[in-house]
Amino acid sequence: MVARLLLRSAVRAAVTRRASPAVALSRGMAAGGIPTDEEQATGLEKKIMNAMKTGTDPFNMLKPKEYAGSKSDPHLVPSITNKRIVGCVCEEDNTAVVWFWLHEGEAQRCPSCGSHYKLVPHELPH
Amino acid sequence: MAHQAHAYHMVDPSPWPLTGAIAALLMTSGLAIWFHFHSTVLMTLGLILLLLTMYQWWRDIIREGTFQGHHTPPVQKGLRYGMILFITSEVFFFLGFFWAFYHSSLAPTPELGGCWPPTGITPLDPFEVPLLNTAVLLASGVTVTWAHHSIMEGERKQAIQSLTLTILLGLYFTALQATEYYEAPFTIADGVYGSTFFVATGFHGLHVIIGSTFLAVCLLRQVQYHFTSEHHFGFEAAAWYWHFVDVVWLFLYVSIYWWGS
């Protein structure tokens, strides 16, 4: 008897249509009561979150992109000033790293292997 | 204007490492003073200083992470590594006590009667309270996972309910184990059986209390909206620790309570 009643109420619950809210709020404080990072992140975490959304990586968190290093496809080196130190490992497993300052302007070449490097100045988000 | 070009957290100078070290000094020397001169003053002072250090240090971490946003993805990754390494060190800590247990129980000496459990020891029935304790901790593992999923899915009420249930189960375990300790027919002084039993289960019980406290702090933070559905590492660390405590119990139950009877 109980099973039949249970079955009846289950069917009724499954079939009932409820009015849905006009705007479907799916996440965050408005929905379940737990904020999202979008709503609550602050400080550097928020700056980084917003910067990553634009596709840039101003804080160098990701692995650097790979370039051919040729004249037409130079290694692009981001910098927050007008020069940055570059360390070139000319061939894989080389133990001697070739260090040099890369300045703003025309692409420079590694004094050892000749790969092209170009400085790309950018602003930090603030 | 941004003050740093990297995503890491260069922490401001803090007095808590020093107060923690002083607390460790006072507790250890205080222990020696208690043993030899019957005074608990130094040790108690050390304990108070330790509690104050823990409270203020972790409060500062919460301020830096949740309120100031210093816990960027690389910083969080470092915290994860840290917690995993800490739990690993605790695994080795317990491994030592299991080694001691198996050393003594696999080859019982003539002084024990050449058998395990040793002559004169009536071990606890593994299918009574210890089995209930196993069920309680396994259930708490389920509820803490429920809490995690609730947080990730943004369900505040469910997160609070399941986290509370987890803590209650932890407290229930502690209460049950305390009555077992009180009612046990043997003591820590009862040869190597008593030593291995109470040191191993005793340290485990201490870890249950620590884990329950950690979860309780998470509950307070959850109620105060600290956690977001994506960023809640404090809770994850507490859950990892809780699962570790559960696994240690399972090994204790199988080795000492069941095989050891």
One-letter amino acid of B250: L
Q: Residue A122: its pLDDT value, please?
A: 85
The 3-state DSSP class for residue A86 equals strand
Q: Residue B5: its pLDDT value, please?
A: 87
CA distance A122 to A101: 17
Is the predicted pLDDT of residue A118 greater than 60, yes or no? yes
Structural domain boundaries in chain B: 1-70, 72-258
Cβ separation B67–A42 shorter than 8 A: yes
The average pLDDT across B69-87 equals 97
Cβ separation B7–A48 shorter than 8 A: yes
Structure-token pair, residue A54: 């634009």
CA distance A22 to A19: 9
* pLDDT bucket at A56, cuts 50 / 70 / 90: confident
Distant-in-sequence, close-in-space partners of B27: CB < 8 Å, separation ≥ 6: B43, B46, B47, B50
- B72-258 architecture in CATH? Up-down Bundle (1.20)
Q: Residue B162: its pLDDT value, please?
A: 97
The average pLDDT across A69-78 equals 94
Q: Residue A9: its pLDDT value, please?
A: 64
One-letter amino acid of B188: I
Residue given tokens 């080196």 in the structure block: A77
Distant-in-sequence, close-in-space partners of B21: CB < 8 Å, separation ≥ 6: none
Q: Residue A31: its pLDDT value, please?
A: 84
Tell me the shortest Cα–Cα distance from A35 to chain B, in angstroms.
Answer: 5
Q: Residue B227: its pLDDT value, please?
A: 96
Q: Are A98 and A75 in contact (CB under 8 A)?
A: no
CA distance A40 to A28: 10
Q: Annotated binding residue at A92?
A: no
The 3-state DSSP class for residue A8 equals helix
Q: Residue B55: its pLDDT value, please?
A: 98
A100 phi/psi in degrees, rounded to 5? -160, 155
Q: Annotated binding residue at A115?
A: no
Is the predicted pLDDT of residue A39 greater than 90, yes or no? yes
Is the predicted pLDDT of residue A29 greater than 90, yes or no? no
CA distance B118 to B80: 44
The average pLDDT across B36-41 equals 96
Is the predicted pLDDT of residue A66 greater than 50, yes or no? yes
CA distance B91 to B185: 29
Q: Residue B1: its pLDDT value, please?
A: 44
Q: Residue A18: its pLDDT value, please?
A: 52
**Could you tell me the sign of the dihedral formed by the alpha carbons of B88, B89, B90, B93, in that order?**
positive
Residue among B60, B55, B84 at smallest CA distance from B71: B60
CA distance B90 to A24: 47
CA distance A118 to A72: 11
Of B71, B157, B230, the CB nearest to A36: B230
CA distance B117 to B112: 8
* pLDDT bucket at A23, cuts 50 / 70 / 90: very low
Is the predicted pLDDT of residue B221 greater than 70, yes or no? yes
Tell me the shortest Cα–Cα distance from A104 to chain B, in angstroms.
Answer: 18
A contacts of B69 (beta carbons < 8 Å): 41-47
Is the predicted pLDDT of residue A11 greater than 80, yes or no? no
Cα angle: B128, vertex B131, B132; to 5 degrees: 90
Q: Residue B2: its pLDDT value, please?
A: 52
Residue among B101, B106, B84 at smallest CA distance from B198: B101
The DSSP output letter for A117 is E
pTM over 0.90: no
Q: Residue B23: its pLDDT value, please?
A: 98
Neighbours of A40 (CB within 10 A): 21
Q: Is B159 on the interface with A (CB under 8 A)?
A: yes
Query: Above pLDDT 90, what percent of chain B?
Result: 98
Q: Residue A14: its pLDDT value, please?
A: 60
Q: Annotated binding residue at A88?
A: yes
Q: Residue A21: its pLDDT value, please?
A: 45
* pLDDT bucket at B158, cuts 50 / 70 / 90: very high
Half-sphere exposure of A89 (CA within 13 A, CB side): 4
Is the predicted pLDDT of residue B97 greater than 80, yes or no? yes
Q: Are B174 and B205 in contact (CB under 8 A)?
A: yes
Q: Is A20 on the interface with B (CB under 8 A)?
A: no
Distant-in-sequence, close-in-space partners of B93: CB < 8 Å, separation ≥ 6: B203
Is the predicted pLDDT of residue A17 greater than 70, yes or no? no
Residue among A104, A99, A108 at smallest CA distance from A121: A104
The DSSP output letter for A79 is E
Q: Considering the domain B1-70 in this protein, what is its CATH number?
A: 1.10.287.70
Is the predicted pLDDT of residue A1 greater than 80, yes or no? no
